[in-house]
Structure 1
Amino acid sequence: MKRRQFLTQSSYIIAGSALPMTHLFAKETISPEMEFLSNYMSQAYSKKLPEDILEQAKFHILDTFSAILSGSELAPGVSGINYVKRHGSTGKCTVIGTQLKAGPLEAALANGMMGHADETDDSHGRSRSHPGCSIVPATMASSEIFGITGDHFIKAVTLGYDVGTRLLMSLGGPEFSYTSHKSSHSIAGMFGSAAAASCVAKFNPQKIRWVFDYTAQQSSGIAAWGRDTDHIEKAFVFAGMPARNGVASALLVDTGWNGIDDIFSGADNYFLAYAPNAKPNILVDKLGVQFEIALTDIKKWSVGSPIQGPLDALSILLQKNKFNADDVEKLDVRLAPSAAKVVNNREMPDICLQHMMAIMLMDKTASFKAAHDIDRMKDAKVLAQRAKVNLISDENLNQFMPIRVAIVEVILKDGRRFSERVDAVRGTPRNPMTKVEVFDKALDLIGPVIGNDQSKELLAFVNSLEQQTNLNKLSYLLQKNS
């Protein structure tokens, strides 16, 4: 090729490659949604929360710490701890339920793994996410880096719930989760964790927008977690990864990184990549007026969400009618097909509806210990009761989703029939647990891990969290000290 031909063709190539790049260097505009959101977030740590929201936030923080502590002794939690032991960096962040300290990313990862080590953490139905198991670990790790008060901690967690759930709802909520093959749980957790960490760091609006940029680039997770049989991948997708990545986004910006001013609008933005029909206005809808932490469920029973309603219904029937397990001929449970699929004859006790209904028949309750006793899945007496349980996928209940309506009918050997329908599961905003119930659940979960006396101290500390000037004692109370 002659020199002139080479230079001519090269200039065409250069000119052609430059054309589609011009939009990358155009001055960025910030959407009204991002403007409002980033400004609101930058002020969240200094704004007073309504008293009822403050109380609910403390309930969810305590409930999540309880899930983490109990999860520290389950396989996913142990996996997270072992990762820190083998590959963790030195640092000052608490690895809950242990004597270990680590860097913020490893601590957030491990504590997140513990937080969703089983099915006892909170859940948000309208976004189909589990906010607490990632947001609370992210806030905890960030707080030990930046040093904040208990009141600031509560506000950061509350903001995380507001941002993570709204982001997911703007993508389409449960419908997005069911049709996109992506994990709604990881997406909501990641943005919620990043928002909480930004609040802890007291970032200004510009830095918050950059945090969103790096969070969007890390946003990942696909629905293949549904094939996980040991809950380890699920714990990583729901909690460990989102907590770690959310903290990472904040720490990158804290060290001076900049980024795109508005990842939610403009060319190649996050919504175009994930859900072209998204509704960005939901990001700021009722923000500061409606607090999503108060619209998040606290589970009464330490089992998968679709089993909550059936256990409630059977518990009510047992109290009303005073029958025993051996009196039962047959037990029918009706759930919407998408809910029934999740809990139908699963390998783990806490997400197997048939097994947990048998446990409720025999024990008249469903304790944390019983929900994690794998050996009982092979017990002949339990198997005899489990054989009576018939799970029915009822298309008629689809109309109520994402509310998981449950109908339980018990047929006794003497011919009597009892039926109970649950539209509002205990622990949901329409049927909330009392403070006594929340504390009783916490003691059931954490007492065996850190002892009764330390458990009561932890409950008292969280109950007065807004009054605490530093969180050193919290770090101590969350570790295994004997």
Structure 2
Amino acid sequence: MTPATTALAGFASRLTFAELPPGVVDRVLWHVLDNIGAGLAGSAKPWNAVVRRYAERETAPGRCVLYGTGTTGRPEWAALANATAGHGFEIDDYALPALAHPGCVVVPTALAIGEATGARGHAVLAAAAAGFETVVRFGLATTPSLTSDRGFHVTGVHGVFGAAAVACGLYGLDPDTAASAYGLAASQAGGVTEYTRSGGEVKRLHAGLAAMAGIRAVTLAGDGFTGPRTAVEGPRGLLRAFVAHARPVLLTDGLGERWDLHGLALKRYCVCAGIQAPLEAMAGLRRDGLRAADVEEIAVGVDPVTLAHVGAVGARPRDMTEAQFSARHAVAMHLVLGGSGAAEYARLEAAGFDLPEVSALAGRVRLETDAEAEAAFPRRLLARVRVRLRDGGRLERRAEAPGSPNAPMTGEQIEAKFLGLAAEVTGDRAAGAVRDAVLALADDAPVSAVLAPLREEYA
């Protein structure tokens, strides 16, 4: 049996657009569009702007556009800034049951290298497909143990291989050199999830570091620097070091024949994936007429893994990370402010994360384990919300995470989400031009056209 490192590297280095099933092309195309929207929205946030300024200061001249500005730079630095922004506002994609975040690393890497090399759409989509599939398979093989048992962040660990997969394809590495590049990538994997307990902005940076590291690994390998070709599965490799309960067979089983990226999911709300289903339930109750003033207590039932991930932060978050990882606060804010999108979180940020009515209701939100959600996890993200009213009445609503494989968004909904996020930063004209250029990648249009409207907008 071919070692996992070698098999994954060979898959990424050999994959061509002609080998992609039409359903894979469509899914990758929509996720490229979605992540650019997430990145543009994230680029406007001050914590992501810090990383962009750092990248602008350190990069050598290059052709790769940095989101939120007309500045260009070298691939590593553009990927650092844009991937950080893409993961920087909790509206980027994820995967089930892999529990991974592929797009925030894969898409900025593909765009940056594509711009630097003058690639066209088919080559970029093939490389992105390899990157998405690679991240999803690492997720299937390592989660939830990677995080639940060891405390590592999936984006920082999986993402470096997704970025390496993209770079191997677009830089044209042969399979043996690509395997060496994966060995270099493994030594740059990392990132811990303490932010779910005590906040901070580092979570956003994990995507940028992974994208940068994947490009660096491939560039060094292409210049002759070597890494271990069993860096993933070896006795001192990544699986042994990072995962208590790994499933290595899922890295390569059916690779190139079965596409696990069909488990990709999109977010409707600007929060952790584990809070999407509770908010969808709250949205239904709110449409039915529920108001914050009516509520005595809210009980939110989710699976145990989700409960551990989004249940540690209480009713009074201190920064945006804590706010977007607090199920208590997110549920309360949705009901009080009437939504959980960019506008509502901007209002919370402007208030210094102190909205008394939200915090008061959040203090009356109780989290618990739900048996149905536990049985469905991780293939589905379900939630049950039960509300006890001040007048003694009771309401209950079950929901599934919107945009997930069993509750997918339509193409029209994905476009609307993109335009809503992007236009706030770029204006309507530029947002529409970016959308059109992304969709044209399926016809092999040049990737340089995708972000060109941003340079024109900021010229």
Give the Cα–Cα distance (whole angstroms) in 1 for the partners of residues 439 and 27 of structure 2.
11
Say which SS state the counterpart of residue 223 (structure 1) adopts: coil
Q: Which amino acid aligns with 1:194?
A: A
Letter in 2 for 1:89: A
CA distance in 1, matches of 2:261, 2:152: 23
Match of 1:7 in 2: none
1:66 aligned partner: 37
Q: Equivalents in 2 of 1:270, 1:307: separation in Å?
A: 29
Deviation at 1:342, TM superposition (A): 3.5
The aligned residue for residue 394 of structure 1 is 369
**Shift, 1:193, TM fit:** 0.8
Change (3 A) 1:458 1:199: same
2:59 paired residue number: 88
Q: Offset at 1:426?
A: 0.7
1:370 aligns with 2:322: no
Runs of 5+ consecutive residues of structure 1 not aligned to the other structure:
1-29
**Matched residues, percent identical?**
25
1: CA distance, partners of 2:191 / 2:367: 30
Equivalent residue number for residue 188 of structure 1:
158
1:209 aligns with 179
CA contact 2:168–2:218 (8 Å) conserved in 1: yes
1:479/1:113 Cα in 2 relative to 1: closer, same or farther (>3 Å)?
farther
- 1:340 and 2:314 aligned: no
The residue aligned with 1:354 is 328
Deviates more, 1:30-39 or 1:468-477: 30-39
Aligned-partner residue type, residue 184 of structure 2: Y
Aligned to 2:97: 126
Which among 285, 300, 320 is matched to residue 253 of structure 2? Answer: 285
**Cα shift at 1:458:** 1.3
CA gap 1:250/1:372 in 2 versus in 1, 3 angstroms: same
Query: Cα deviation per residue 1:17-42 (whole Å; 9 max; x = unaligned)?
Result: xxxxxxxxxxxxx8354554343323
1:178 corresponding residue in structure 2? 148
1:198 Cα deviation after fit:
0.7
Which residue of the other structure, out of 382, 389, 403, is the alignment partner of 1:405? Answer: 382
Aligned runs of 1:47-66 on 2, under 5 Å?
47-66=18-37
Aligned to 2:213: 245
* Residues in 2 aligned to 1:418 and 1:56: alpha-carbon distance in whole angstroms: 37
CA distance in 2, matches of 1:333, 1:86: 45
Question: Structure 2, unaligned stretches of length 5 or more?
Answer: none
Matched residue SS, 2:94: coil
Measured on the aligned residues, the alpha-carbon RMSD in Å equals 2.5
TM-score, structure 2 as length reference: 0.89
Q: Does 1:40 align with 2:11?
A: yes
Larger Rg: 1
1:318 corresponding residue in structure 2: 286
Deviation at 1:161, TM superposition (A): 1.3
Question: 2:427 aligns to what?
Answer: 451
Provide, for residues 422-456 of structure 1, a one-character-per-residue CA deviation record: whole Å limited to 9, x for no partner: 2x311000110111211121122111100011111
| Structure 1 match to 2:410 | 434
- Answer yes or no: is the 8 Å Cα contact 2:3–2:230 preserved in 1: no
Q: Which amino acid aligns with 2:344?
A: A
CA shift in 2, pair 1:75/1:230, >3 Å: farther
* Alpha-carbon offset, residue 210 of structure 1: 1.3
- Between the aligned partners of 1:383 and 1:274, the Cα distance in structure 2 is 37
Is the partner of 1:218 in helix, strand or coil?
Answer: coil
Alignment correspondent of 2:393: 416
Moved more, 374-383 or 192-201: 374-383
Deviations 1:145-191 (A, max 9, x none): 22211122112111111112213432x32123211233332111111
Call closer, same or farther: CA 1:271–1:305 in 2, change over 3 Å.
closer
Q: Partners in 2 of 1:228 and 1:134 — Cα distance?
A: 24
Q: Distance in 2 between matches of 1:355 and 1:58?
A: 34
Relative to structure 1, the CA distance from residue 86 to residue 332 in structure 2 (aligned partners, 3 Å threshold; closer, same or farther) is same
1:235 is aligned to 2:204? yes
In the alignment of these two chains, the number of paired residues is: 447
Contact 1:409 1:419 in 2 (8 A): yes
Q: Distance in 1 between matches of 2:290 and 2:191?
A: 45
After TM superposition, give the deviation of residue 248 of structure 1 in Å.
0.5
Does the 8 Å contact 2:127/2:167 carry over to 1?
Answer: yes
Name which of structure 1's ranges 398-407 and 177-186 shifts more when overlaid on structure 2: 398-407
Aligned in 2, Cα 1:380/1:35: closer, same or farther, shift over 3 Å? closer
Which secondary structure state, in structure 1, belongs to the residue aligned with residue 231 of structure 2?
coil
> Secondary structure of the residue that 1:301 maps to in structure 2?
coil
Contact (CA 8 Å) 1:300, 1:427: kept in 2 or not? Answer: yes
Measured after TM superposition, the shift of residue 379 of structure 1 is: 3.4
Q: Deviations over 1:350-398 (max 9, x none)?
A: 33333332333244433211023224543344445445x4122326454
Q: 1:277 to 1:382 in 2, by over 3 A?
A: closer
Q: Which segment drifts farther, 253-262 or 292-301? A: 253-262
Give the conservation status (yes or no) of the 8 Å contact 2:114–2:448.
no
